Structure 1
């Protein structure tokens, strides 16, 4: 995307101006989207982004700036501007590459799509979205259906003053369906939204009609549900998106973004027991075609499988370059950013609780009265402590070990570091689900997941 000589000159000038480390991040990004509401196209968009960001380290202190003008003059002016912030502009060499001999790494194509995004036209996409709507029209109570497709192609170049040169290509696709059900007593919604690092084979992996049907079934279930009870009780949390609780209330506490600042209750806990022995918690950037996967992170390091908690013991944090400087820990390929307008920070990729050995039906045995939170929704988390409250999109009462009537409006309230110690059984039916996570370095695609699991007690907010 940029000439090697220009990249070398930018980094060389930064180093000659006093920076201990310099990194140039360049990206080209194309996004497409289509949204259909009740059979009518409401949006069909396509956009291009192109820009670069320059990051300089002075010890553990960092300065960052970006531009969408990638001419040599603009990039060199950007370099001088950043160096000037440290009062060393007079030392910047007029030219030169800093003697860098780049070690180039090219992606192996681990997540290459089977059907490229350019292989089909807009009509093909529209037909698939109409199939999703048709699949959702399973009852007269379904009054409105919205289906959408999001796609992006991202090309990335990361080069730094150690001589690293990394290129990566990322392609992602996601289908979303929202179904609204209504009767004389109220209105309820249901959603379904699979996504992966794939091309248009997303429609083969997740047939559109089945995606629509799943959303509609959830809406109809909630339409006949009674208000949820309130109180402290055992809770079985469903697999796949059930993992969002521990993503938000635990995962963020394990990023060096908070750990290095001592802003996490899990700082300085390596080697200590922090969870139930049946819990192994993993963040994996290498999952084939995972929604949050890539071959390299946004700092140019290979992604990896990082075991964060093993059998209840804290083994690792998610470490970016800045976090490594502050803590002395090894980087784990966890540096991520939304785009070139953000400096990278340590972020989750595909984070999940590993499968256990408890058969699913055994999770419910012995529960006299509890809640089955089959599908989780959004919520709020208090940074640092992991205190959370999350809505449940689909829930059922557990009575005498059996799943009984559906309930709606349930909230789960607790603290992540405490809840993970109260997990008493984990099933073997691991599934994952895509989502978008916002933090200091912007909004990123992440995958959450877990098998079904039983927590001995959680405060359930509902209607007493």
Structure 2
């Protein structure tokens, strides 16, 4: 993507004022989007983005800049301007040594090689299935996303590695209407894979399930408010702990002391039933990577084990601040962003309870089958999340559906209140936003029960 002589010259320029580390990140990304509404493709977009990011360290100072002009003279000038912000001792530059990235995500069929009509056919199939579920389905939106990203990373320590990242995602959102009631359902599976992901996807399952959610919620009653045991199902249920716990375990927050988990390695921070893992090596999962955005191999990082805090997610710069090892967790949206520690596929590990036994052992509570959006204060872990599909549980049985439910709490406190963990781990694909942009991540967990949570609803408190 850049000649080695160009890389050498740019790194030398970046260290010309005495910085002790320099890095070049080159990205060439082609993205395509298809959106279907009213059973027709209403938007089809393809774009290409190319650019180079240059990062320089001097001790605990960090400068980052980027450009879309990859001509050698311009890159050298950009590197020198960035270097002018730093002063330090002379640095020895290591010769570049080409590395081969580990292969976590095998790609069988590049999306760009697939005919447009083949993609449209699958979207039309999903649209037809979703509409056929019920005459209450009045609208269906189907989206298809594909990204092909080629990156090259080189630094003054001699690292020189290239990678290909391919992401494919399908999402469907049906709308159901009955009288004055309108409800939507949603499902959006994705993978770090080529078009083979969509070819092998059970379109009928996802389209039917999305419509079922919308139609079911038409019959939902107002959710009671109060403090109850809450059962949170697998897959997208993991979004609560991703937001309220996972971000607090990233060195981005920990290194500055802006996390409730800072300086607590070896301490008990959760129920004995909770083991929390971030694993970027799960084959073809949405958040998986062959290597992170510093060229480090991704790995399986056990963050909490049986309730004990074991570690954090650490990038190169924050490793300096914390005097600790890298974890292959540095990520960014694109060359426009300075990378930092981020999650990949983060999940609560399987427990020993069956989902049926968790429900049967709950006298009264809320069952959150699918979670919606929410917000969290990363410094405190305080959160609130909407329940997309929820139910009352009474005398060990799932009863009537409820709407308007919001789960409110604090991540650190909720970790202690997990009193049952199921054996049906599943992952859900999503996008995570933070200081280094929006990136693909998986959230996951088996079904869990939290002994008590504050539930916000529109029905009188019980």
- Fold shared by both chains (TM-score > 0.5): yes
Q: Is the 8 A contact 2:129 2:207 kept in 1?
A: yes
Q: Are residues 1:113 and 2:122 paired?
A: no
* Offset of residue 108 of structure 1: 4.2
- 2:419 is matched with which residue: 405, 419, 424? 424
* Offset of residue 244 of structure 1: 0.2
Q: Are residues 1:234 and 2:259 paired?
A: no
Who is 1:219 aligned against? 214
Q: Is the 8 A contact 2:365 2:392 kept in 1?
A: yes
* Offset of residue 205 of structure 1: 3.1
Scaled by the length of structure 1, what TM-score is found?
0.97
Who is 1:174 aligned against? 169
Secondary structure in 2 matching 1:148: strand
Q: Are residues 1:407 and 2:398 paired?
A: no
Query: CA separation in 1, counterparts of 2:396 and 2:106?
Result: 45
Q: Is the 8 A contact 2:97 2:159 kept in 1?
A: yes
1:17-416 paired onto structure 2 within 5 Å:
17-86=17-86, 100-137=94-131, 138-416=133-411
* Offset of residue 360 of structure 1: 1.3
- Deviation string for 1:257-306 (max 9, x for gaps)? 00000011110000000000010000011110011111110011111100
- Deviation string for 1:12-34 (max 9, x for gaps)? 22223211110111011000110
* Offset of residue 456 of structure 1: 0.3
* Offset of residue 114 of structure 1: 2.1
* Offset of residue 99 of structure 1: 5.4
Q: Is the 8 A contact 2:16 2:83 kept in 1?
A: no
Who is 1:5 aligned against? 5
Secondary structure in 1 matching 2:449: strand
Query: CA separation in 2, counterparts of 1:38 and 1:165?
Result: 48
Q: Is the 8 A contact 1:80 1:92 kept in 2?
A: no
Aligned length: 458
Query: CA separation in 2, counterparts of 1:408 and 1:115?
Result: 41
The more displaced of 210-219 and 447-456 is 210-219
Query: CA separation in 2, counterparts of 1:178 and 1:380?
Result: 22
Query: CA separation in 1, counterparts of 2:312 and 2:31?
Result: 32
- Deviation string for 1:89-111 (max 9, x for gaps)? xx999xxxx65421211234431
* Offset of residue 203 of structure 1: 2.3
Query: CA separation in 2, counterparts of 1:17 and 1:8?
Result: 16
Q: Is the 8 A contact 1:133 1:209 kept in 2?
A: no
* Offset of residue 87 of structure 1: 5.9
Moved over 4 A (4+): none
Query: CA separation in 1, counterparts of 2:199 and 2:206?
Result: 11
Secondary structure in 2 matching 1:52: strand
Secondary structure in 1 matching 2:260: coil
- Deviation string for 1:354-398 (max 9, x for gaps)? 000111111123322100000001101012110000000000110
Q: Is the 8 A contact 2:19 2:90 kept in 1?
A: no
Query: CA separation in 2, counterparts of 1:205 and 1:265?
Result: 42
- Deviation string for 1:78-134 (max 9, x for gaps)? 11101112368xx999xxxx6542121123443122222133211111110000111
Scaled by the length of structure 2, what TM-score is found?
0.97
What RMSD in Å do the two structures reach over aligned CA positions?
Answer: 1.4
